[in-house]
Each structure stands twice: as structure tokens, then as C-alpha cells.
């Protein structure tokens, strides 16, 4: 396995791409309301990325994906395809996953939104999933292992009676959307690749309210749902390992690790 180490110039480009992706999530937030369709969310994001940011929505035509963002509602785990037939309703939860390419480099980030008034059980799943991502980010520094990251996420998820999806994982990222290493969201301390300064990757845990098992929609080839049709949540950031910790390249201003 060869994991690339990015140069300071490459990291600066990823910082720019990361911040653009973060800004798309902040831009789209007010639009996530009952009655809007996921296709409308896609078209607003597409136009903003292309016309305002002069960037490229990475998902569009990626391995045949037909839209510019992923919109994963309720029991959809990931890779939901925006659709004019999918109307958001009060109490839904939705993950919006944004990846932009700017100057050849990718920024990949997603967050959960509550549509209208949050339901208590959904709010708990969404919060614990965000905590899993934040706890993982907290430990990232040179010398820790990928297994340490997986362990922190799995421990927090399972101690709250949620399950961790195994089939999809975080990934190295740079000029390539998905590169080595695979960043599993479960695992054992002190196992796997040791992190080094200059590595860039995502962490993007998916937690299910019920069992961990998922199914892939055979008709569209993309939509992943929970097997038991219970809720799923996901949060994602792109980061770089620094000399003594981590810089979250896709951090939004309201997050604890946002710098300047």
C-alpha cells in the first residue's frame, strides 16, 4: 500500500477546495425545509459550485453518478441520488454530501440536517454520529494508527446502542477523489497504518439506529439503505495530518476545530 504525502503547496490547494465544500453546506442549510425536493437542493448546489465558486462538483458523472451531490434521507445510508420525486417532509433527516474540485484538488464533506422539527430519536442518532466524527478527529496526529480511529468511533457508537456500517469507509483524497488508505470506522487500537504528517484523508462514519446491515438498490445502482429500514446518519470531514495534530480542511466556522 502506498499512501501519498502531500507537499505544502498541495495542502494549500486542498485547503481552498475544502473551504469551498464547507461553504456549500452552509449555503444550502436554509434551503433544507419541508416541501423542497432533493433535486432542487442538487440544482442549487450545482449552480453555486459551478457559477459562484468556479469549481467542479466531483460526483457528477463519477463512475456514472447522475447528479452533483448526494442526498441521503432517513433510512438511506449514503449515495442517495437527488430526485424531483423526493419531497422532504417535517421530521426527516438528510445527509448532504458535497465534493468539489478546485485547481485539481478535492474537498469532501457532509453533514446531517433536520427537516422542520427534529424528532427526539433522530436527534440522538444525528448527535452521536457527529460526536463519533469529532472524537476521531480529536485523536488524529502523527504516530496514531487507522485502527485507533476506527476503535474510537466504534466504541462511542456501540456504547450508545448504535451500529457502525462496515461496507463503506473514509478514504485518502487529493488530486484523486478516492485513494489509499481506506479509513475504516471500526477496529482495534494499535493496528493498521501509522499516520504521518502530510497524509490527507476523510473520516465519514455511518451509524445505524438498528442493525449494521445495508442493501444496495439494484435498480439505480447507487442508493444504499439500511436492511431493516431504520434510520442512518453520517458526518464527514477532509483533514490533513500536521506535525503535532490535525487540520480539518473542510471545517465550518461554527465548529470547534475551525481555525481563523
Count of residues that bind ligand MF3 according to CB under 6 A: 11
Q: How far, CA to CA in Å, does 162 sit from each of 14, 166, 207?
A: 33, 13, 6
Q: How far, CA to CA in Å, does 95 sit from each of 143, 144, 155, 167, 235?
A: 32, 29, 22, 18, 8
Q: What is the smallest separation between the CB atom of 141 and Co ion, expressed in angstroms?
A: 21
Cell reading at 219? 435498480
State which residue, 69 or 88, has the beta carbon closest to ligand MF3: 69
Distance CA 52, CA 60 (A): 17
| Residue 237 interacts with ligand MF3 (CB under 6 A): yes or no | no
174 close to 105: Cβ distance less than 8 angstroms: yes
| Residue 99 interacts with ligand MF3 (CB under 6 A): yes or no | yes
Find the binder of ligand MF3 among 42, 97, 148, 247 (CB under 6 A): 97
Q: What is the smallest separation between the CB atom of 60 and ligand MF3, expressed in angstroms?
A: 8
Residue 62 touches which member of ligand MF3, Co ion, none, C-beta under 5-8 Å by kind: ligand MF3
Distance CA 132, CA 192 (A): 19
Count of residues that bind Co ion according to CB under 5 A: 5
| Residue 236 interacts with ligand MF3 (CB under 6 A): yes or no | yes
Q: Which of 182, 223, 173, 171 is nearest to 67 (CA)?
A: 223
Phi and psi at residue 18, to the nearest 5°:
-60, -45
* 131 membership: H or E segment, kind and range: helix 120-139
| Residue 148 interacts with ligand MF3 (CB under 6 A): yes or no | no
| Residue 106 interacts with ligand MF3 (CB under 6 A): yes or no | no
Find the binder of ligand MF3 among 20, 28, 49, 59 (CB under 6 A): 59
Binding residues for ligand MF3, per CB under 6 A? 59, 62-63, 65, 70, 79, 97, 99, 108, 204, 236
Amino acid at each position: 500500500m502506498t499512501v501519498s504525502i502531500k507537499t505544502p503547496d498541495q495542502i494549500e490547494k486542498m485547503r481552498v477546495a475544502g473551504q469551498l465544500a464547507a461553504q456549500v453546506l452552509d449555503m444550502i442549510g436554509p434551503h433544507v425545509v419541508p416541501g423542497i425536493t432533493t433535486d432542487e437542493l442538487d440544482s442549487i448546489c450545482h449552480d453555486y459550485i459551478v457559477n459562484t465558486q468556479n469549481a467542479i462538483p466531483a460526483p457528477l458523472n463519477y463512475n456514472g453518478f447522475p447528479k452533483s451531490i448526494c442526498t441521503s434521507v432517513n433510512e438511506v445510508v449514503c449515495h442517495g441520488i437527488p430526485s424531483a420525486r423526493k419531497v422532504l417532509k417535517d421530521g426527516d433527516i438528510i445527509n448532504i454530501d458535497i465534493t468539489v474540485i478546485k485547481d485539481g484538488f478535492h474537498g469532501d464533506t457532509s453533514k446531517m440536517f433536520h427537516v422542520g422539527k427534529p424528532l427526539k430519536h433522530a436527534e440522538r442518532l444525528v448527535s452521536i454520529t457527529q460526536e463519533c466524527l469529532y472524537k476521531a478527529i480529536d485523536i488524529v496526529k502523527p504516530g496514531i494508527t487507522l485502527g485507533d480511529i476506527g476503535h474510537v468511533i466504534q466504541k462511542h457508537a456501540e456504547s450508545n446502542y448504535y451500529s457502525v456500517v462496515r461496507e463503506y469507509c473514509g478514504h485518502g483524497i487529493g488530486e484523486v477523489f478516492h485513494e489509499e488508505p481506506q479509513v475504516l470506522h471500526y477496529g482495534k487500537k494499535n493496528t493498521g497504518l501509522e499516520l504521518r504528517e502530510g497524509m490527507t484523508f476523510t473520516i465519514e462514519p455511518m451509524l445505524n439506529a438498528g442493525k449494521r446491515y445495508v442493501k444496495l438498490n439494484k435498480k439505480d445502482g447507487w442508493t444504499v439503505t439500511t436492511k431493516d429500514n431504520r434510520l442512518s446518519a453520517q458526518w464527514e470531514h477532509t483533514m490533513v495530518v500536521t506535525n503535532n495534530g490535525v487540520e480539518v480542511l473542510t471545517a465550518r466556522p461554527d465548529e470547534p476545530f475551525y481555525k481563523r
